Amino acid sequence: MGEDREDPQKLKRMAAAAYDYENDSRWADYWSNVLIPPHLASRSDVVEHFKRKFYQRFIDSELVVEPMPTSSPAQPPRPPATTSSIQSPRRNEQAHYPAGSGSINRTSGTSAATGPNSSPSRWDRQTILFSVNAWVFVVAILAVIPLVPKNLSHRAYRLSFMGTTCSSLYSLYLLYGKPTAWNFQALLVYFQSIIATKDFIYFIYCLTFVTSHLSLKFALIPLLCRSLEHVAKFLRRNFSRSNLYRKYLEGLCVWVESNNTIISILTSHVEIGVGFLLIISLFSWQRNIIQTFLYWQLLKLMYHAPVTAAYHQNVWAKIGRTINPSINRHAPFLNTPISSVRRWWFR
């Protein structure tokens, strides 16, 4: 009977291994948000483990994914004996408790948990990111609520972009570390490794607004979606056994994780809409030509970056199908400048 239960899992593991992850845009988005050190991200067994977790989440929820082994397998069961004073309490402890009792297991578990490469540091990093993103979510909600006083709303608007800027930089630091050197060549290599990531895109997105006097509450929607996704992911992974989580938050977190594609589509619509709002703002006293130019450069990056390309290309295709017939019918003279813009866009 044990073999009968294992056979379906073997088939599921084979299907997960044969799945074409590279052509699934969700995999690039999923992998870019996995918080692991760079030296682990290059290991094939770590990548395969997260591919199976991705397959379990998006393709087949019945696939059983075994926990990943620790990165330091050669830990001795007890620390080396440097002095007799360290060994004597352990001998007394073994004399008081019979062999196989829970005290020895607790001792070894404690020593493993306090090792230099243990998970508490990783937990602390995730907690920092969770705290910043939860703070951004609350502050952004305050900024978009109409009943909040104008002064407080404007301050919350600025703090939302500043908080997302800090969380994006911190996430980039956790995933890619620092440049190997501070010369031009090393900085160029480092920049090329992070330019297409979602964290870098949101870092530039926030910079274009945090330094501008123009206040577009509409631009806070991508920040709300991003922070909500990070908070829901953290709560599901770390508080799934909490009664408070199960009673009040589980439904929302499950909905957020299962509707990641819908949230990404909404975000791409808003990001493109903000670009057109900035063009309209050029005709007002709040115009900012540099901000508009930089933001459209960012939209161009979003169109080509793997983590956002599928969603942005879909939105632009819809816009083309809607606008092109009207232009050809009523304003054919616009075809020449539009062709020039397209050449710049696809260059």
pLDDT tens for 47-102 read: 888 888 888 888 887 788 888 765 444 344 444 444 434 344 444 444 344 444 43
Q: For 312-326, what is the mean pLDDT? A: 92
pLDDT exceeds cutoff 60 at 224 = yes
Q: What number is the average pLDDT over the span 208-234?
A: 91
Chain-wide mean pLDDT for the chain? 80
For Cα atoms 347, 278, 150, give the angle at the middle one, nearest 5 degrees.
Answer: 150
| Biggest CA-to-CA distance, the chain | 94
Residue with tokens 């073994």, as numbered in its chain = 94
Closest alpha carbon to 314 in 257, 276, 261, 275:
261
- Nearest Cα neighbor of 129 from 167, 177, 102 is 167
Q: What are the domain boundaries of the chain?
A: 2-58, 120-321+341-346
Residue 33 has pLDDT above 60, yes or no: yes
* Residue 7: pLDDT band with limits 50, 70, 90: low
What average pLDDT does range 164-184 have in this prediction? 90
Say which amino acid occupies 113: A
The per-residue pLDDT for 136 is: 95
Would you say residue 132 has pLDDT above 80?
A: yes
Answer yes or no: pTM beyond 0.75. no
Q: How much is the pLDDT for 53?
A: 85
pLDDT at residue 200 in the model = 94
Task: Give the pLDDT of residue 112.
Answer: 39
d(CA 194, CA 181) in angstroms, rounded, equals 16
Q: Where would I find the beta strands (DSSP E) of the chain? A: none
User: Does the pLDDT value for residue 118 go beyond 80?
Assistant: no
The tokens 């631009």 sit on which residue? 219
